A = this chain, B = another copy of it.
Amino acid sequence: MTRIAVDALGGDRGPAEIVAGALEARTPDVEPVLVGPTWLETRGLELIEATEVIGMHEKPSDAVRGKPDASLVVANRAVAEGRADAVVSAGNTGAMLAAGLLEIRRLRGVFRPGIAVMIPARGGVSVLIDAGANADARPEHLVQFAHMGAIFAEEILGRSSPQVRLLSIGEEDEKGNQLTLETLELLRDSDLDFRGNTEARDLLRFAADVVVCDGFTGNMALKLMEGTIKTLLDEFRKEIEASPRGKLGGLLIRSAARGLRKRLDPDTYGGAYLLGLRGLVVIAHGSSSRTAIANAITLGAQGAAGNVVARVAARLEEEVAAAPG
């Protein structure tokens, strides 16, 4: 039985939506455990009490230190104390990072945790890491992200010896900024199946099993893809609805459009792993629907079943042991 601590007060849609998602994810093997106030309507799920809440726009480190009884913090603590196997929250991402670092703590040898997200590319799902945990990163951080991403690809996506690429502004080795140029050399020397640089234009065409970048670049890429897809679909609908002829055409292509929209919908993937900690943390989109919450819980359960944390720990210890000097 895998127990997943679910922050009932995280996210933009309110606790009822999160409880509904938790119920949807419940199976004989997966038990969601809500974390929130006693007035919460738990619908038969177990509750761990938390009396405070952290808002989406609070300053992460201040909020986490100032509110030790916030649902998001208590949910992380439940993992640290072994009361849950993973934590899921659709709350403040920065606060999740701060709470994870404070309560669950980094694995030995890990410089920085990284956020690993799934990119719904045409040829299959890619893992993008870091999607925003560290706005500034050094080359050796990116190498660790590559290892973490590879374990994600193996355990969750079932890829054996995943191919890794570095996100840059040209495929040639000499294209990039100082960070990517230095990272490229380290990745070439690693035992990863590293295939060189990839360009952002290929992200949605399946650049590789794992695509590595710093958190500023990754966060920007993710939001840009989301924004571009949304703007394009919205405008397309507007253009179609501008004429009776277009409207009729729109009805006829509706199911085709729906398939594409569903594949590209962030809710389909539910959440991102925060990797590099001594416990499994899943960060869900702030606007998560119940389906997204359920998918995030399932993702947490998969990661727990696949021993993702233990595998990251073992791999990075090997790397530390093998490092020169």
Contact = CB atoms under 8 A, between A and B. Distances in A.
A230 B251 CA distance: 23
Given A221-B224, A225-B228, 10 more contacts: A169-B215, A176-B216, A180-B216, A199-B223, A203-B228, A220-B221, A239-B256, A245-B255, A246-B253, A252-B252
Contacts of A132: 169
Interface in A152-202: 167, 169, 172, 174-178, 180, 199-202
A245 B260 CA distance: 16
Number of copies: 2
Nearest to A132: B169
Contacts of A253: 239-240, 246, 249-250, 253
A135 interface: yes
A257 interface: yes
Contacts of A175: 135
Interface in A224-248: 224-233, 235-236, 239-240, 242-243, 245-246, 248
Contact of A245 (B226, B252, B257): B252
Given A248-B252, A250-B253, A253-B249, A135 B219 contact: no
B224 A176 contact: no
A217, A230, A242: most-surrounded residue (chain B CB, <10 A): A217
B256 A240 contact: yes
Interface residues of A, number: 61
A44 interface: no
Please list the 4 inter-chain residue pairs (A to B) with the smallest Cβ-Cβ separation, ordered nearest first.
Answer: A249-B252, A201-B227, A200-B224, A249-B253
Contact of A122 (B216, B231, B243): B231
A199 B216 CA distance: 11
Nearest to A247: B252
A259 interface: yes
A254 to B, nearest CB: 8
